[in-house]
Structure 1
Amino acid sequence: MQTGHSAADIAAARSLQTYTYIYTSAATFWTYDYACSLHQELTFLIQSRWTKVKGLYILTRYTPFLLFVAHLYLNFVPDDNPNMCQTINNICSCFSLISVICAECFFIIRTYALWNNNKFVLAAMVIGFLAVIIASVGVLFTATAQAPFDTSTILGITGCYQSAGTDELFVPFILLFALELGLISLTLVRAIQSWQIARSPLYSVLLKHNIFYYACGLLFSMVNIFTSLLLQYAYNGMLQDFQIIILAILATRMHLHLWHIDRQIHSSDANTLIPLTDVSSVGRTG
């Protein structure tokens, strides 16, 4: 890097480079995952019935593509206008919220199915979920509006970052952590209650998927809480969208797996303890 720049300018530039590398890696990973599951996905999209769950799948699967397009434009296209950076970042925040909401909806539906469509469990999950969404939206856009964006003063370093005032951005991840902790608790309680009763392969898949998904969500939420609080410049947000992308990949991959298992079971006329009916359970889509 050029001499004559302050230590803060150099640190900010390095953070932008690191952020760009991570986001490019995430885009590459998402593309690779899409290519690997393309055959399964085409089979699902062509042969499954059009239901609400299928629409949820499509929204969850392809929203990250829009997120990548907007973020990569922000990272690579030179732009010295902080206001434009803030506008594009707000668009990215909307895509991020849509993606994480859709991914979590999959597992709220799955948890509801595990509890045999218990209305009280559903009401508790929906109320908690709506509270997290409303609080997160308020904190996210308020923090973004109060903290102006900066661009690097070093030539050749593109992208924008918020140098100060973004400490509040850890709050949505605490709320998401609390939500997923509650959902994984419901899953574990149900697993203990049904340990000797449920012998359906679909039931086992649901339990394993739920626990693995929530464990990943809890881990990433903890990491993002610490990065938001302890790091500066672009470092504090470098893993935020990475978590959202991983959750979207897990949700859609697990749904594809469940759908194919359901097809195999029904093609052999096996009986299941969990009916995969539209949205009220895990969503039988075929």
Structure 2
Amino acid sequence: MSTISDIIKELKQLTDYVESVRLVTYFDVAGSTMFLYDYLITLGMEVDLVWSSKWTFMKMLYFAQRYLPFVDAVALCFLNQLSTTIDPTACKMVEKARGVLMIAGISLSELVLTLRVWAVWERSSRVGLVLSILFLLAVSSSFVVSGFFLSSLQFVDKPYPTFQGCFITSASRVVYMNWVILMAYEAAILVMIVIPGISAYRLGGDTALHTIVYRDGVIVYIYLLALSTINVIVSISLPRMYLDILWSVERCLHSILTSRVLLDIRAYGRRAHTVWADGITELHFDSEVINTEPRFARRLGWARIRRGGA
């Protein structure tokens, strides 16, 4: 028979858990709101610069990483967190689908940014091989870690009828390795974009082009590296109830920042009289830059493809 102290202890544990679920929900909603807001304010640029362009590998990547958050960071997130009728079986299915889609979405965003880095290294075969190995190791390791984590999740029936979301009773901390892997990968890519960036600035030339290709790329990776580092700290130091508090935020930021990188580069190309591109990565800039900065142009491996829009 439970004593008064046992009942009070159980009630406190339940109260703490409900408060943690509410806080995680707030962060999930914040991430989704941030994504939806950015989508709405950049939709005009996307329609003008992407929708009407011809279909390429990069365009397919753009749409995949751009629109996948509507599923994992918005629909599945809210279903998992806010439903009052979802059962433990459905909870596990939703959480597994959400976890896989999030890793896939982050991987697609990282692939886009990695292709940017490969472009500024003159599409070197050696650099391409190194980047391919690093990317495949990072992605495969993340899926393996996610598999272990998602298998460790245990759900039970709701403690009371109006409880919103899923009631989780067990989760492995191994998930922090995902953020360690991402942090290491982002640090490596950051170094690889800084090196040619320093060389490009020494050559001088169009500062607007340098800003779009190098400075913005560096800033994006600093943001992502910082957030991955915070995720590692949170996953290790805070109670298990807060393991996923920043997942949606980082997931949405990957999509937002990657989309901004592509849109800004295409906007730069649209302002030019002549569009230049490097093929698969579709970096654009105008003919005057080629004429005044031949060494810089050769570094990026750019070649004129057509006259007109992006």
Distance 1:137 1:162 in 2: 21
3-state SS, counterpart of residue 243 of structure 2: helix
> Where does residue 18 of structure 1 map in the other structure?
23
Aligned pair in 2 of structure 1 residues 36, 133: CA closer, same or farther (>3 Å)?
same
Amino acid across the alignment from 2:84: P
3-state SS, counterpart of residue 270 of structure 1: helix
Structure 1 residue 131 corresponds to structure 2 residue 137: yes
Amino acid across the alignment from 2:55: W
Deviation at 1:149, TM superposition (A): 2.6
> Where does residue 271 of structure 1 map in the other structure?
289
3-state SS, counterpart of residue 187 of structure 2: helix
Equivalent residues of 1:163, 1:232 under 8 A apart: no
Amino acid across the alignment from 1:237: D
Structure with bigger gyration radius: 2
CA deviations over 1:251-281 (Å, ceiling 9, x no partner): 0012111101012123574234245579xxx
Distance 2:160 2:19 in 1: 10
Question: More displaced, 103-112 or 150-159?
Answer: 150-159
3-state SS, counterpart of residue 8 of structure 1: helix
> Where does residue 223 of structure 2 map in the other structure?
216
- Structure 1 runs of 4+ aligned residues shifted over 3 Å read 161-165, 266-269, 274-278
> Where does residue 202 of structure 1 map in the other structure?
209
Equivalent residues of 2:82, 2:164 under 8 A apart: yes
Residue-pair matches, total: 278
> Where does residue 4 of structure 2 map in the other structure?
none
Structure 2 gap segments, 5+ residues each: 1-6, 275-285, 291-296
After TM superposition, the structure 1 = structure 2 runs for residues 62-73 of structure 1, keeping only pairs within 5 Å, are: 62-67=67-72, 68-73=74-79
Deviation at 1:155, TM superposition (A): 4.3
What percentage of aligned pairs have identical amino acids?
19
Deviation at 1:157, TM superposition (A): 2.6
Deviation at 1:170, TM superposition (A): 0.3
Structure 1 residue 76 corresponds to structure 2 residue 82: yes
> Where does residue 236 of structure 1 map in the other structure?
243
CA deviations over 1:43-77 (Å, ceiling 9, x no partner): 12333221111111111110000111111111111
Deviation at 1:92, TM superposition (A): 0.5
Distance 1:276 1:43 in 2: 23
3-state SS, counterpart of residue 114 of structure 2: helix
Amino acid across the alignment from 1:270: E
Distance 1:118 1:128 in 2: 15
Equivalent residues of 1:12, 1:233 under 8 A apart: no
After TM superposition, the structure 1 = structure 2 runs for residues 1-286 of structure 1, keeping only pairs within 5 Å, are: 6-67=11-72, 68-79=74-85, 81-150=87-156, 152-160=158-166, 162-197=168-203, 199-200=205-206, 201-267=208-274, 269-272=287-290, 273=297, 274=300, 286=310
Structure 1 gap segments, 5+ residues each: 279-284
Q: Which structure carries more relative contact order (alpha carbon 8 Å, separation 6+)?
A: 1
3-state SS, counterpart of residue 123 of structure 2: coil
Structure 2 length-normalised TM: 0.83
Distance 1:39 1:142 in 2: 41
> Where does residue 3 of structure 2 map in the other structure?
none
